[in-house]
């Protein structure tokens, strides 16, 4: 039986996640359900794409991913099912899949068109669950939809290059549980324009001119403990997803603060890199 994952902005206070799982088990008693996240910020397409895009590859091929963010259907927010990179995705055409497919071309995309769809306010349960269970039973996309080519591609979420290639202008796309600030500047993009030059990262009033490989690299163990950088010091690195991240070493956002609060950074705030 294929794995079915859930990524939503429903949170865990309400009944929605439990109802989804119950509906799946009612259809497929031996289903394997994995929660990727239910803590996506409400309607935050970029955050959803970042979390889902960096997690789906860890699952075996054939996994079915249900995306429950901004899922209410409209003429411009169609329900779609996609076969991409060996995985199935069921989502609204709200840009989440467009961001994931920016570097990988989907093999098949259909607009969902199932018989007698429920017209309620909970389409993830009323429609997406039906489609996921159909696929899990071995059903094809052709049965539940017709070919679809108008996959929404959101602009403005990718970094830009200005000043004749001497400056990258990016933005904050995610703030993790530690308060670390993740930007949309990928390592490959950075290196393509750096070309061995020195650089300066600017985020509000903060300037950083070195990128570490891991968090603890900020510590120079050859120095005496009282002279080392360490907990509470700022740093930059490319995280496990290879996106530029700004962090405060061993800081707790719930007590002393973290990069997001101490550096005054929030979602979509500008981050620039200047080469010299």
Of 217, 211, 216, 220, whose CA–CA distance to 273 is shortest? 211
64 to 72, 91, 163, 264: CA distances (angstroms): 20, 11, 43, 38
Quote the pLDDT of residue 119: 67
Tokens standing for 203? 């985020």
Of 185, 202, 200, 204, whose CA–CA distance to 262 is shortest? 204
204-210 contacts: CB < 8 A, separation 24 or more? 204/263, 204/264, 204/265, 204/269, 205/264, 206/234, 206/246, 206/263, 208/234, 208/235, 208/236, 208/246, 210/235, 210/236
Quote the pLDDT of residue 124: 94
Of 197, 177, 195, 174, whose CA–CA distance to 244 is shortest? 174
Q: What's the predicted TM-score (pTM) here?
A: 0.88
Which segments of the chain have a pLDDT < 50? none
Quote the pLDDT of residue 221: 79
Of 191, 140, 137, whose CA–CA distance to 168 is shortest? 191
Cα separation of 36 and 8, whole Å? 8
Quote the pLDDT of residue 16: 95
Cα separation of 153 and 131, whole Å? 23
What's the pLDDT tens digit per position in 136-152?
999 999 999 999 999 98
Quote the pLDDT of residue 226: 73
What's the pLDDT tens digit per position in 172-199?
999 999 999 999 999 999 999 999 999 9
């Amino acid at each position: 039986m294929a794995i079915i994952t859930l990524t939503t902005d429903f949170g865990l206070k309400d009944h929605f996640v439990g109802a989804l799982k119950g509906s799946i088990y009612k259809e497929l008693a031996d289903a394997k359900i994995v929660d990727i996240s239910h803590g996506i910020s409400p309607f935050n397409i970029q955050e959803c794409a970042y979390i889902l895009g960096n997690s789906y590859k860890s699952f075996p091929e054939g996994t079915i991913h249900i995306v429950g963010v901004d899922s209410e259907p409209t003429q411009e927010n169609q329900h779609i099912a996609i076969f991409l990179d060996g995985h199935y995705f069921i989502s609204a055409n709200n840009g989440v899949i467009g961001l994931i497919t920016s570097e990988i071309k989907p093999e098949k995309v259909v607009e969902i068109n199932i018989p007698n769809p429920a017209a309620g306010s909970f389409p993830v349960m009323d429609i997406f669950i039906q489609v996921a269970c159909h696929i899990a039973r071995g059903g094809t996309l052709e049965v539940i939809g017709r070919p679809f080519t108008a996959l929404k591609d959101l602009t403005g979420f990718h970094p830009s290059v200005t000043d004749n290639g001497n400056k990258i202008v990016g933005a904050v796309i995610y703030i993790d549980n530690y308060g670390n600030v993740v930007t949309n500047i990928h390592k490959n993009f950075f290196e393509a324009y750096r070309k061995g030059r020195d650089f300066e990262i600017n985020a509000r009033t903060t300037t950083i001119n070195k990128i570490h490989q891991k968090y603890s690299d900020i510590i120079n163990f050859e120095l005496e403990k009282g002279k080392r950088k360490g907990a509470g010091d700022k740093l930059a690195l490319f995280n496990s997803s290879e996106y530029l991240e700004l962090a405060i070493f061993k800081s707790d956002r719930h007590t002393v603060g973290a990069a997001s609060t101490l550096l005054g950074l929030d979602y979509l705030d500008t981050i620039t890199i200047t080469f010299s």
